[in-house]
């Protein structure tokens, strides 16, 4: 059986074109929703996957309608695979997990996603270590204004303002 899934992000978009394309491509049933792809708890997608049996195919119009991120895509694909089903994309013919070539492409995408994740973790750890190295052992007090600093923290200019200075006109200027 071929189960179709289509999604648009906003109310201003129409599902009709996607539904028509899926039905024309042989979908027996189409699950549709208006939901952001950034959300992973899409009800119509969950129902479409639940309707899959071994040997079935989930058909989408484009890969970006199924998932927004690589990680989400791989999670969805794993769930479909656990059901013994496959996935095909109308607009992305290389994405067809019912064929050996499609499975290869998905495996490469998975490897790239794993590599990307490990690079993010490495950069995050390095950034955290640099940030911790910059933090003094005791927290420095926050100053409400440049002249509010205690004299031992103040720069020479702040101390001059604190003590009053002459600006060359002979008048003494006090701190406001």
User: Mind listing the pLDDT tens digit for each residue in 74-103?
Assistant: 888 889 999 999 999 998 888 888 888 888
Position 105 in a domain: yes
Instruction: Say whether pLDDT at 168 is over 90.
Output: no
Catalytic residue ranges: 9
Position 48 in a domain: yes
Q: How far apart are CA 81 and CA 109, in angstroms?
A: 15
Q: Rounded mean pLDDT of 120-131?
A: 83
Domain that holds residue 55: 2-112
Q: Rounded mean pLDDT of 1-5?
A: 95
Position 81 in a domain: yes
Instruction: Say whether pLDDT at 143 is over 60.
Output: no
Q: How far apart are CA 174 and CA 2, in angstroms?
A: 83
Position 140 in a domain: no
Instruction: Say whether pLDDT at 153 is over 60.
Output: no
Position 89 in a domain: yes
Position 170 in a domain: no
Q: Answer yes or no: pTM beyond 0.85.
A: no
What's the structural domain count of the chain? 1
Q: Rounded mean pLDDT of 165-170?
A: 51
Largest distance between two CA atoms of the chain:
95
Position 38 in a domain: yes
pLDDT band at 13 (very low <50, low <70, confident <90, very high): confident
Instruction: Say whether pLDDT at 175 is over 50.
Output: no
Give the single-character DSSP code of 147: G
Instruction: Say whether pLDDT at 142 is over 80.
Output: no
């Amino acid at each position: 059986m071929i189960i179709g899934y289509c999604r648009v992000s906003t109310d201003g978009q129409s599902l009709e074109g996607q539904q028509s394309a899926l039905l024309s491509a042989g979908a027996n049933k189409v699950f549709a929703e208006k939901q952001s792809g950034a959300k992973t708890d899409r009800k119509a997608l969950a129902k479409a996957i639940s309707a899959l049996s071994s040997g079935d195919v989930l058909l989408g119009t484009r890969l970006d309608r199924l998932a927004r991120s690589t990680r989400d895509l791989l999670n969805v694909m794993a769930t479909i695979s656990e059901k013994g089903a496959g996935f095909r994309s109308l607009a992305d013919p290389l994405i067809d997990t019912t064929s050996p070539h499609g499975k290869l492409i998905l495996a490469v995408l998975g490897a790239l996603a794993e590599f990307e994740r490990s690079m993010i973790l490495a950069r995050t750890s390095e950034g955290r270590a640099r940030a911790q190295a910059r933090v003094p052992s005791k927290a420095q007090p926050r100053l409400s204004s440049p002249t509010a600093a205690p004299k031992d923290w103040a720069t020479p200019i702040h101390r001059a303002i604190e003590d009053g200075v002459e600006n060359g006109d002979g008048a003494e200027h006090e701190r406001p």
